[in-house]
């Protein structure tokens, strides 16, 4: 039968006493009384069913069981102390937590992030990601979301004014030629990302090809995967201009024909209205809105 884990304060008393081999010094370190330390060690020995110290006329020595147990207890306490400091320490209270749409972070925010760090090295940030955010994460100070810009109880700053642009690899796979006109898409596989209102159907309608049918379609749950497949020549993706401009400039993707369609959706920086604002929230907001203005 497995023994229950002893209380943490018993283990701390054991570890401190074992290091000092002196109850008085352990009590001083832990800011407790000698009687409390002695009682906790006795409780630990009783639960474990074996003595951990030899009580000598002039001090303490450790039993073989105590010597075997000490390294494990010491390491666990050390790791717990380190993790607590890393996650909840004084410096960590200053972290601004931002939950970002994954494709936006990968293709828009990450390439610009060095500029923020250079300007504001003192600002600590904690990022997490999502693909589609239905509800604001209350553990986040701010979120970057995709949509129409209206979230109840939230304030939103628009970050992108995109055009939908068909993109593909400069060299298609399976011997296919790069499409030169929208009609050529009928011979290709298009890469469809679920969840966007402004998808291939919207692009075809606005571009003047509502009846065009594709050879085949593949579906993805994120634009990141669709763009990667397009990069390797396995289909035509519908990129957002703010996200694919760098890949196009590097030659990783091409826009085979100049026919962009404006989107009704966009990426927004979103935060709760009329709630506590993290002291660094306005710094990040001002910076990212400035960056968005540069790109538009």
pLDDT one-digit tens code per residue, 214-256: 888 999 989 999 999 999 999 999 999 999 999 999 999 999 9
Instruction: Give the pLDDT confidence of 14-31 residue by residue, as tens digits.
Output: 999 999 999 999 999 999
According to DSSP, residue 122 is labeled T
Residue 163 near residue 264, CB atoms below 8 Å: no
Q: 90 falls in which pLDDT band (50, 70, 90)?
A: low
Q: What angle do CA 135, 138, 141 make, to 5 degrees?
A: 110
From the CB of residue 80, how many other CB atoms can be counted at a distance below 10 Å?
Answer: 13
pLDDT at 124 over 60: yes
Q: What pLDDT is stored for residue 172 in this prediction?
A: 83
pLDDT at 261 over 60: yes
DSSP secondary structure string for all residues of 177-236: PPP-SGGGGGGSEEEEETT-SSSHHHHHHHHT-TT---SEEEEESSHHHHHHHHHTTS-E
Q: How many residues does this entry show for the chain? A: 296
CA distance 172 to 178: 6
Q: What does the block give as tokens for 82?
A: 């380190």
* pTM (two decimals): 0.68
Q: What pLDDT is stored for residue 164 in this prediction?
A: 95
Give all domains of the chain, ordered by start, each with its CATH number.
8-88 (1.10.10.10), 92-153+266-294 (3.40.190.10), 163-262 (3.40.190.10)
pLDDT at 275 over 80: no
Average pLDDT over residues 281-296: 89
């Amino acid at each position: 039968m497995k023994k229950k884990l002893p209380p943490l304060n018993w283990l701390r008393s054991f570890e401190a006493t074992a290091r000092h081999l002196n109850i008085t010094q352990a009590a001083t370190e832990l800011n407790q009384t000698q009687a409390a330390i002695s009682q906790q060690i006795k409780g630990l020995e009783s639960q474990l069913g074996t003595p951990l110290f030899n009580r000598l006329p002039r001090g303490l020595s450790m039993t073989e069981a105590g010597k075997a147990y000490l390294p494990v207890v010491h390491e666990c306490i050390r790791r717990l102390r380190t993790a607590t400091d890393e996650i909840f320490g004084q410096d960590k209270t200053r972290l601004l937590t931002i939950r970002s749409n994954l494709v936006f972070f990968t293709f828009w925010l990450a390439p610009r992030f060095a500029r923020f760090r250079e300007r504001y090295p003192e600002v600590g940030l904690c990022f997490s990601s999502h693909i589609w955010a239905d509800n604001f994460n209350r553990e986040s100070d701010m979120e970057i979301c995709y949509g129409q810009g209206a979230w109840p109880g939230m304030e939103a700053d628009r970050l992108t004014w995109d055009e939908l642009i068909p993109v593909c690899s400069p060299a298609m796979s399976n011997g296919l030629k790069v499409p030169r006109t929208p009609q050529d898409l009928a011979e290709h596989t298009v890469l469809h990302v679920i969840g966007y209102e402004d998808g291939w159907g919207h692009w075809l309608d606005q571009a003047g090809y509502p009846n065009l049918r594709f050879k085949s379609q593949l579906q993805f749950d994120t634009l990141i995967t669709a763009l990667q497949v397009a990069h390797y020549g396995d289909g035509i993706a519908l990129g957002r201009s703010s996200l694919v401009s760098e890949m196009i400039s590097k030659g990783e993707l091409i826009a085979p024909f100049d026919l962009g369609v404006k989107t009704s959706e966009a990426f927004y920086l979103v935060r709760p209205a009329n709630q506590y604002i993290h002291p660094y929230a306005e710094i990040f907001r001002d910076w990212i809105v400035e960056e968005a203005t540069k790109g538009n």
